[in-house]
Amino acid sequence: MTRYLIFIKNQVENHSNKPGSAEQMACDVANSIDMQRRPKDYYVAYRADSPEATMAMLIEPAKCSVELDDARVAIWSQEMKAMSIRADNVDEQVELA
């Protein structure tokens, strides 16, 4: 299982995760549990044992960490779509109220 550290993108260097990568999945997980409906590119993730993570930690502490393996990536891929649809429905209902 690989551990990823999640940072606010604009607090660290101008780095983006590759779409479809495990790092992007870790950011999607963090965004889902954040419950603030942040933009998709709000977070950036680095492997916890990478030099990039070490450098980012010198600037600011990580917001959270996410551990992923192939099984968890598959689960999140299936569940995140459903959660996103439900969150959009809640947003619509709040706007209507």
| Interval 28-52 mean pLDDT | 87
Task: For 56-69, write each residue's pLDDT tens digit.
Answer: 999 899 999 999 99
pTM of the model: 0.79
Provide the pLDDT for residue 81: 72
Residue 12: per-residue pLDDT: 62
Q: Give CA–CA dist 92/5, Å, rounded.
A: 32
For residues 95 and 13, give the distance between their C-alpha atoms in angstroms, rounded to a whole number: 35
- CA–CA separation, 70 vs 9, rounded Å? 25
The domain in which residue 72 lies consists of 2-96
Whether residue 36 has pLDDT greater than 80: no
Q: Domain count of the chain?
A: 1
**How far apart are alpha carbons 15 and 38 in whole angstroms?**
17
